[in-house]
C-alpha cells in the first residue's frame, strides 16, 4: 500500500494500572480480582471485538501452525501429526536449487527496476500538474490517469495483451511502417521491460496523489515571498516545491524498499508464460506453481516461509527507519 | 496552491522575453500532461472501440480511435451464453455480502480499540499487528481453507478477507478523534456500548466508513487469486478468473465460442469477443468511478494529513 501517512502509534498507557510487582501475595490476588472486575465492566466492548479476534485467530494465526509443513515431508494422507520430520532439509535443498536462486533474483531485479524507474514518474507528473491553472483540464487529466489504478491486473493486463499482443494495435502499427515486431510477451528480452512500463502506465497517476497532497500543504506565503524576490516558476519549483516534497519522497521510497519481495504477483501471474519463466518467474508465482499446482506442499511452504521471514524483517526495518526519521509509523 | 499568474512584473526590461518563455513552458507542460493522459486511456479506448467494431475492420485497422462499422454483435454473443452472466453474479455476490461483513466487523472492532480505557488494548493491538508483519503464506492458507471445507465455496473469497488491518487501524484512529463529549454523555445516560456504536459513533463517521466500504468493494470486485486458489468449478468462478481464461488465455469456448464460430462466423471474431468481454467487466467500475474517485482522493488526503 502506498498510502503513507498513518499514525498508528497507540497513545494509551494512561489506563494501565500500576504494576503489581511490589505488592504482597495477598494484595496481588486482590489486584488481579480488581483487574478482572474492571475487565468485566467492559464485556460489551470485548464482545464487539470478538468477531475480529476470531477472524485473526482462524485465518491468520492457525495457518502459521501450518508452517510446520516446511520442516516435514508433509503428506496430506498422514496429516501434520503423522508426517515425518526432516528439519531444515527443504531449506538446504532450496538454497542449492538453481531455479530457486533464479526466481529470487528475478523478484529482486523486477522490484528494483520498478522502484528506480517508476519512482520519479509520479513526482514529475505531480509537479507538472501543479503548474496547471486551468482547473477543468487539471481535473480531466487526474480523472483519466487515476482510472487504470482501479482496474484489476487481469483487466489491465488483458487490455495490454490485446494492445501489444499478436494482432494488437502496437505490432500492427509497427508493421505498417515497415518494422517487424518481435512477439513482445513471449520474448525474454522484453518481458521485464513490459512489466515495468505497464506498471508505470497503470499506477503513476494514482501514485501522484500523495505528492499533490504534500504540495497543497506547503505554505503559500513562501511562494509569495519568493515571487516578490523575483523567483520565476521554475525557481519556485526547484527551491520551494521540491524541498517540500523531500519528506514524502523518503517515506514512499522506504515503503517500496520494504516491499522488495513483492514484485507484483497478480501482474506477473496474468502476463507471464512458460517462454519467459527464466526472467519473469518470481517467488510468489513459483510458490503457487510448486505448491498448489504440483502439490509439493513442503517445499512450497519452505519457500513461502523464507519469503515471509525476509518480508517481516523488511517491514520492521522500514518502521524503524521511519521512526528514526520522525515520520509517521505503523506502530 | 502555487498557481500564480505573473501579470504584474516587477522588472520592466526582460518582460517580453519572460512572457515568451512562460508561454513555451506552459505549452510544453500542457502538452506533456495531455500525452500522459492519452497514454493512460489509449489502450482502454482502443479495446472499447474494437469491441464495438466488425471483425474485418478490427483485423484491417491498426489503431481504433472510434468504432469502425459499429455493431453490438460481440456483446450479444458474450451475453448469449450463461458463463459471463454467472461470473458477474458470483462477483456481485462476494462484493455485496463481503463488503457488508467487512464494514460490520471492522467497525465493531475499531470502536473498542479506539477506547483508551479498554483493559488489554495494547496487547490486542500487538496481537493484530503481528499478522500485519508476518503472514504464513499461500500454502498454509490453502490448507486452512481446504480443511474448513471451503474449496469451491464462494465463502472462500469472503471469510479470508474479513478484516483488513490497515483499514482497521485507520478507522480506529478516526474514532479516536471523534469528540468525546457526545459519547460520554450517552454513556452517562446508561446507553449500552452497542447503542453508542450504532447510534452515535457510526452515524458520526459515515464519510469515513463509506470510503472504507469503497476500498473493500473494489478489492472484492477485483478478487482474483482466491478464485484461482480455491475455486475449481468454472460455474463458480468470479469474474476476474473467467476474464483471465477468456481474454488472456483466449479460451473462448469458456463463453460458448466454438471452432465453428471461428471460421464460419463473420459477425464476431476472437479479438472482438475478447475485447467485448474485458470491456463488459470495466463498465460497472467506470459507472461507479466518479463517486469512487471523489471518496478515495478525500480518504487518501485525509490519511496523509493525519501523519
Domain count across chain A:
2
A176 and A285 both lie in a single domain = yes
* B44/A159 CB distance under 8 A: yes
A160 touching B, CB under 8 A? yes
Q: In chain A, what residues touch B300 (CB-CB under 8 Å)?
A: 3, 209-210, 213
Which range is most confident: A209-218, B59-68, B175-184, B262-271? Answer: A209-218
A and B: number of Cβ contacts within 8 A? 331
pLDDT at B274: 93
**B296 belongs to a structural domain:** no
User: Which of A87, A113, A129 finishes a domain?
Assistant: A87
**A17 belongs to a structural domain:** no
Burial category of A117 from C-beta neighbours within 10 Å (exposed 0-12, middle 13-18, buried 19 and up): middle
B105 and B157 both lie in a single domain = yes
For chain B, the residue count is 307
B86 and B60 both lie in a single domain = no
**A161 belongs to a structural domain:** yes
**What residues does A72 pair with on adjacent strands?**
A85
The residue segments making up the domain with residue A166 are 93-324
Of B166, B271, B303, the CB nearest to A5: B303
A62 and A205 both lie in a single domain = no
On the question of pLDDT at B13 being above 70, the answer is no
- Phi and psi based region of residue B190 (left: phi greater than 0; alpha: psi -120 to 50; beta: remaining): left
Sorting pLDDT into bands at 50, 70 and 90, what band is B294? confident
**A215 belongs to a structural domain:** yes
B228 and B187 both lie in a single domain = yes
**B1 belongs to a structural domain:** no
B41 and B178 both lie in a single domain = no
B23 and B140 both lie in a single domain = no
User: Which of A44, A60, A87 finishes a domain?
Assistant: A87
Sorting pLDDT into bands at 50, 70 and 90, what band is B284? confident
A33 and A102 both lie in a single domain = no
pLDDT at A33: 82
pLDDT at B307: 34
Q: Of A264, A218, A278, A272, nearest to A243 (Cα)?
A: A218
On the question of pLDDT at B153 being above 50, the answer is yes
Q: Report the residue of chain A nearest B292, measured CA to CA.
A: A150
B68 and B100 both lie in a single domain = no
Q: In chain B, what residues touch A311 (CB-CB under 8 Å)?
A: 134-135
CA B1 – CA A311 distance, rounded (Å): 38
- DSSP string covering B126-156: HHHHHHHH----HHHHHHHHHHTT-TT-GGG
* B159/A217 CB distance under 8 A: no
**A300 belongs to a structural domain:** yes
A266 and A313 both lie in a single domain = yes
A229 and A287 both lie in a single domain = yes
Q: Report the residue of chain B nearest A203, measured CA to CA.
A: B40
Alpha-carbon Rg for chain A in angstroms? 26
Over range B106-127, report the average pLDDT.
Answer: 94
A60 and A133 both lie in a single domain = no
Task: Report which DSSP code applies to B210.
Answer: H
**A8 belongs to a structural domain:** no
pLDDT at A12: 42
Most B CBs within 10 A among A32, A49, A283, hence the mutation to make, goes to: A49
Sorting pLDDT into bands at 50, 70 and 90, what band is B60? confident
pLDDT at A178: 82
Which portions of chain A are predicted below pLDDT 50?
A: 1-20
User: Which of A87, A105, A136 finishes a domain?
Assistant: A87
| Phi, psi torsion values for A42, nearest 5 degrees | -100, 15
User: Which of B72, B93, B111 finishes a domain?
Assistant: B72
Q: In chain A, what residues touch B237 (CB-CB under 8 Å)?
A: none
**B40 belongs to a structural domain:** yes
B53 and B124 both lie in a single domain = no
* B62/A173 CB distance under 8 A: yes
pLDDT at B191: 84
The residue segments making up the domain with residue B136 are 82-249
**A70 belongs to a structural domain:** yes
Q: In chain A, what residues touch B64 (CB-CB under 8 Å)?
A: 169
**B265 belongs to a structural domain:** no
Q: Of B218, B212, B211, B209, nearest to B285 (Cα)?
A: B218
Percent of chain B with pLDDT over 70: 86
B167 and B227 both lie in a single domain = yes
Which range is most confident: A191-195, B8-12, B283-287? Answer: A191-195
**What residues does A85 pair with on adjacent strands?**
A72
**How many CB atoms neighbour CB B285 within 10 A?**
17
Q: Report yes or no on whether pTM surpasses 0.90.
A: no
Over range B80-105, report the average pLDDT.
Answer: 95
Of B62, B138, B281, the CB nearest to A291: B138
A52 and A109 both lie in a single domain = no
A56 and A142 both lie in a single domain = no
CA B51 – CA B72 distance, rounded (Å): 8
Segment A259-293, tens digit of pLDDT: 899 899 999 999 999 999 999 999 999 999 999 99
**How many CB atoms neighbour CB B306 within 10 A?**
15
* A60/B286 CB distance under 8 A: no
Number of H helices, E strands in chain A: 19, 0
| Phi, psi torsion values for B124, nearest 5 degrees | -65, -40
On the question of pLDDT at B167 being above 60, the answer is yes
Burial category of A16 from C-beta neighbours within 10 Å (exposed 0-12, middle 13-18, buried 19 and up): exposed
pLDDT at B265: 62
Over range B112-139, report the average pLDDT.
Answer: 93
Sorting pLDDT into bands at 50, 70 and 90, what band is B299? low
pLDDT at A17: 46
**A4 belongs to a structural domain:** no
- DSSP string covering B37-66: HHHHHHHHHHHHHHHTS-HHHHHH-SS-SS
A293 touching B, CB under 8 A? no
Of A56, A66, A69, the CB nearest to B128: A56
User: Which of B40, B72, B104 finishes a domain?
Assistant: B72
Segment A177-204, tens digit of pLDDT: 888 777 888 889 999 999 999 999 999 9
Sign of CA pseudo-dihedral A302, A304, A310, A316? negative
Q: Report the residue of chain A nearest B162, measured CA to CA.
A: A55
CATH code, A200: 1.10.3720.10
* Higher pLDDT, residue B305 or B151: B151
Q: In chain B, what residues touch A197 (CB-CB under 8 Å)?
A: none
**A11 belongs to a structural domain:** no
**B10 belongs to a structural domain:** no
* B109/A217 CB distance under 8 A: no
Collapsed DSSP state (helix, strand, coil) of residue A72: strand
B107 and B209 both lie in a single domain = yes
Q: In chain B, what residues touch A83 (CB-CB under 8 Å)?
A: none
pLDDT at A196: 96
pLDDT at B305: 41
B68 and B141 both lie in a single domain = no
| Phi, psi torsion values for A219, nearest 5 degrees | -60, 120
pLDDT at B281: 93
pLDDT at A306: 95
Q: Which residues contact A62 (CB under 8 A, 6 or more apart)?
A: B144
B198 and B53 both lie in a single domain = no
Are the CB atoms for A288 and A272 separated by under 8 Å? no
Are the CB atoms for B196 and B183 separated by under 8 Å? yes
CATH code, B212: 1.10.3720.10
A155 touching B, CB under 8 A? yes
Q: In chain A, what residues touch B128 (CB-CB under 8 Å)?
A: 52, 56
**In b/e form, how buried is each residue of A82-115, taking b as 16+ CB within 10 angstroms?**
ebeebeebbbeebeeeeebeebbebbeebbebbb
**B115 belongs to a structural domain:** yes
**Cα–Cα–Cα angle for A246, A251, A257, nearest 5°?**
125
Burial category of A296 from C-beta neighbours within 10 Å (exposed 0-12, middle 13-18, buried 19 and up): middle
Most B CBs within 10 A among A155, A160, A284, hence the mutation to make, goes to: A155
* A173/B63 CB distance under 8 A: yes
**B41 belongs to a structural domain:** yes
Q: Of B216, B240, B206, nearest to B226 (Cα)?
A: B240
**B294 belongs to a structural domain:** no
B115 and B191 both lie in a single domain = yes
* A147/B122 CB distance under 8 A: no
Domain count across chain B:
2
Segment B198-223, tens digit of pLDDT: 999 999 898 889 889 988 999 999 99
Alpha-carbon Rg for chain B in angstroms? 26
Q: Of A204, A157, A145, A196, nearest to B281 (Cα)?
A: A157
pLDDT at B296: 66
Amino acid at each position: 500500500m502506498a498510502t503513507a501517512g498513518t499514525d498508528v502509534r497507540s497513545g494509551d498507557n494512561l489506563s494501565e494500572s500500576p504494576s503489581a510487582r511490589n505488592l504482597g501475595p495477598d494484595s496481588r490476588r486482590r489486584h488481579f480480582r480488581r483487574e478482572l472486575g474492571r475487565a468485566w465492566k467492559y464485556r460489551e466492548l470485548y464482545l464487539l471485538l470478538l468477531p475480529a479476534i476470531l477472524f485473526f485467530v482462524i485465518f491468520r494465526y492457525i495457518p502459521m501452525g501450518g508452517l510446520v509443513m516446511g520442516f516435514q515431508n508433509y503428506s496430506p494422507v498422514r496429516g501434520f501429526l503423522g508426517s515425518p520430520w526432516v528439519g531444515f532439509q527443504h531449506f538446504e535443498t532450496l538454497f542449492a536449487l538453481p531455479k530457486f536462486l533464479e526466481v529470487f533474483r528475478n523478484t529482486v531485479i523486477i522490484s528494483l527496476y520498478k522502484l528506480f524507474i517508476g519512482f520519479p514518474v509520479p513526482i514529475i507528473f505531480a509537479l507538472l500538474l501543479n503548474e496547471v491553472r486551468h482547473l477543468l483540464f487539471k481535473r480531466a487529466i487526474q480523472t483519466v490517469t487515476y482510472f487504470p489504478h482501479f482496474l484489476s491486473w487481469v483487466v489491465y493486463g488483458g487490455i495490454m495483451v490485446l494492445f501489444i499482443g499478436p494482432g494488437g494495435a502496437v505490432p500492427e502499427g509497427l508493421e505498417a511502417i515497415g518494422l517487424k515486431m518481435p512477439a513482445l510477451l513471449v520474448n525474454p528480452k522484453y518481458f521485464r521491460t513490459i512489466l515495468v512500463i505497464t506498471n508505470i502506465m497503470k499506477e503513476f497517476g494514482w501514485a501522484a496523489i500523495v505528492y499533490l497532497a504534500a504540495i497543497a500543504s506547503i505554505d503559500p506565503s513562501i511562494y509569495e515571498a519568493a515571487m516578490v524576490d523575483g523567483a520565476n516558476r521554475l525557481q519556485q519549483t526547484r527551491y520551494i516545491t521540491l524541498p517540500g516534497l523531500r519528506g514524502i519522497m523518503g517515506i514512499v521510497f522506504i515503503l517500496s524498499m520494504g516491499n522488495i519481495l513483492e514484485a507484483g504477483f497478480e501482474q506477473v501471474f496474468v502476463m507471464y508464460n512458460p517462454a519467459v519463466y527464466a526472467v519473469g518467474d518470481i517467488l510468489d508465482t513459483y510458490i503457487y506453481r510448486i505448491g498448489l499446482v504440483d502439490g509439493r506442499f513442503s517445499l512450497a511452504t519452505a519457500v513461502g516461509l523464507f519469503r515471509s521471514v525476509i518480508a517481516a524483517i523488511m517491514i520492521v526495518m522500514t518502521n524503524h527507519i521511519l521512526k528514526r526519521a520522525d515520520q509517521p509509523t505503523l506502530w | 496552491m502555487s498557481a500564480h499568474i505573473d501579470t504584474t512584473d516587477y522588472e520592466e526590461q526582460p518582460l517580453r522575453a519572460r512572457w515568451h518563455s512562460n508561454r513555451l513552458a506552459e505549452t510544453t507542460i500542457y502538452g506533456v500532461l495531455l500525452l500522459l493522459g492519452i497514454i493512460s486511456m489509449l489502450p482502454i479506448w482502443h479495446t472499447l472501440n474494437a469491441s464495438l467494431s466488425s471483425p474485418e475492420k478490427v483485423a484491417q485497422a491498426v489503431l481504433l480511435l472510434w468504432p469502425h462499422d459499429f455493431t453490438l454483435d460481440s456483446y450479444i454473443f458474450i451475453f448469449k451464453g450463461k458463463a459471463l452472466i454467472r461470473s458477474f453474479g458470483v462477483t456481485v455476490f462476494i462484493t455485496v455480502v463481503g463488503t457488508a461483513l467487512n464494514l460490520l466487523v471492522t467497525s465493531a472492532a475499531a470502536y473498542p480499540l479506539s477506547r483508551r480505557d479498554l483493559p488489554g488494548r495494547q496487547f490486542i493491538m500487538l496481537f493484530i499487528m503481528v499478522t500485519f508483519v508476518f503472514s504464513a503464506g499461500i500454502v498454509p492458507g490453502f490448507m486452512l481453507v481446504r480443511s474448513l471445507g471451503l474449496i469451491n465455496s464462494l465463502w472462500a473469497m469472503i471469510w479470508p478477507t474479513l478484516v483488513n488491518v490497515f483499514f482497521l487501524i485507520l478507522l480506529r484512529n478516526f474514532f479516536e478523534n471523534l469528540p468525546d463529549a457526545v459519547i460520554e454523555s450517552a454513556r452517562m445516560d446508561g446507553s449500552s456500548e452497542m447503542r453508542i456504536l450504532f447510534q452515535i459513533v457510526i452515524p458520526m463517521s459515515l464519510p469515513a466508513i463509506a470510503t472504507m466500504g469503497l476500498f473493500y468493494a473494489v478489492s472484492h470486485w477485483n478478487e482474483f487469486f482466491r478464485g484461482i486458489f480455491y475455486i475449481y468449478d468454472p460455474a463458480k468462478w468470479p469474474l476476474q478468473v473467467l476474464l483471465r481464461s477468456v481474454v488472456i488465455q483466449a479460451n473462448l469456448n469458456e463463453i460458448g465460442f466454438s471452432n465453428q464460430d471461428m471460421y464460419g462466423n463473420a459477425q464476431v471474431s476472437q479479438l472482438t469477443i475478447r475485447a467485448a468481454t474485458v470491456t463488459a467487466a470495466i463498465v460497472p467500475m467506470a459507472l461507479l468511478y466518479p463517486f469512487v474517485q471523489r471518496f478515495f482522493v478525500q480518504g487518501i488526503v485525509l490519511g496523509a494529513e493525519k501523519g
